Every structure is written in structure tokens, then in C-alpha cells.
């Protein structure tokens, strides 16, 4: 795998691990992970997700300043196609990280300040706040996202033929 990735500059690769390489492995060139496996444990889920969060930088990139560091991977992404499961994992993990916090929303808010959650709502990516994450984790969707879907322009038929149609 490391041979196929090489330095990461000349190659573009996708690594399929089928459940392997989720713990104890650091590959700086990885910038995204697609969660396709139904992981039940938040710890296992985030251990896999944090594999892509490992930094990728070069110290002294020009060879003239040993204190200079060039960051090659400023962001990383976790793509999960089961959003309710993902947000349930996030809420459980956030609450577990703050056992003395009486308000679950505050516990999740602390986690998402380091791990923002974006949702695709038809045409835009929007950041979901801690309250929205808890809504989705418990009920399957948030009131805000549901309202946006009802306000969506995709629900409006602007076809001229529809205006002239007779019942």
C-alpha cells in the first residue's frame, strides 16, 4: 500500500481496507475516509475516522529554514452515508468524553468545535450544530433540516406545461 501511495505527490490512490488499517496505522497522505461499515462502537468508529486526521507536513521544505513547516493536509473528511448512525456515534462519543457535563448538548458542542459536521441539504453544505446533531441522532432528522426540505425550490414545479394542464 505504501509503495502504491509513494510520496503522495505524483500518485492519486484510493485504499480499500475492508476493516483493516483502522487502528495503529498512520498514513499521512490519507485525507478522507468513506464509512461503509456499520460500526456499533463509537470508539471504533472514531479510531477509524481519526486515521485520516493524522497530520501531513514537511519540515524545512526549502532546505533553508529548519523552523519552517509546510502543511500539506490542512483538512480531512469523513464521509458517512448513514447519517443517523454517524450522528448517533458522534453524540454518544461527545457525551462519553464529558461524563460530568449534565447537558448533553454542551458535551456534543465541545466535540463538534474540533470535528464540525456538514450536511448536504439538496444544493448546499450546511454545518449542523450540537442541537441538530442530537435531534438527528434521536429522531432521524432535525426540525431545521426538515423545514429546509419543505422550503426547497425542488418541490416547486415551474414547468409551463403544468400551468396549462387541465384537470
Residues 113-150 pLDDT 10s: 888 888 877 778 888 888 888 887 877 654 555 555 44
pLDDT per residue as tens digits for the range 31-60: 888 888 777 777 888 888 788 888 888 898
CB–CB of 31/59 below 8 Å?
Answer: no
The three-class DSSP label of residue 25 is: coil
pLDDT given at position 81: 78
Count the neighbouring beta carbons within 10 Å of the beta carbon of residue 137: 22
* CA–CA distance, 166 with 23 (Å, rounded to integer): 63
**Cell numbers 448512525 correspond to what residue?**
85
Alpha helices in the chain (DSSP H): 2-5, 42-49, 83-97, 104-112, 130-139, 143-151, 160-164
Residue 65 confidence class, pLDDT cut points 50, 70, 90: very high
Please say whether the beta carbons of 109 and 130 come within 8 A.
yes
Amino acid at each position: 500500500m505504501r509503495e502504491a501511495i509513494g510520496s503522495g505527490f505524483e500518485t492519486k490512490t484510493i485504499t480499500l481496507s475492508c476493516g483493516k488499517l483502522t487502528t495503529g496505522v498512520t498514513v499521512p497522505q490519507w485525507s478522507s475516509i468513506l464509512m461503509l461499515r456499520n460500526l456499533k462502537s463509537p470508539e471504533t468508529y472514531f479510531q477509524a475516522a481519526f486515521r485520516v486526521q493524522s497530520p501531513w507536513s514537511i519540515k524545512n521544505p526549502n532546505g533553508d529554514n529548519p523552523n519552517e513547516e509546510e502543511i500539506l493536509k490542512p483538512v480531512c473528511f469523513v464521509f458517512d452515508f448513514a447519517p443517523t448512525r454517524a450522528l448517533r456515534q458522534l453524540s454518544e462519543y461527545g457525551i462519553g468524553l464529558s461524563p460530568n457535563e449534565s447537558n448533553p448538548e454542551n458535551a456534543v458542542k465541545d466535540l463538534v468545535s474540533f470535528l464540525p459536521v456538514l450536511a448536504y441539504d439538496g444544493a448546499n453544505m450546511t454545518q449542523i450544530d450540537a442541537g441538530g446533531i442530537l435531534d438527528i441522532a434521536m429522531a432521524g432528522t432535525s426540525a431545521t433540516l426538515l423545514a429546509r426540505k419543505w422550503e426547497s425550490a425542488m418541490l416547486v414545479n415551474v414547468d409551463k406545461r403544468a400551468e396549462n394542464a387541465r384537470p
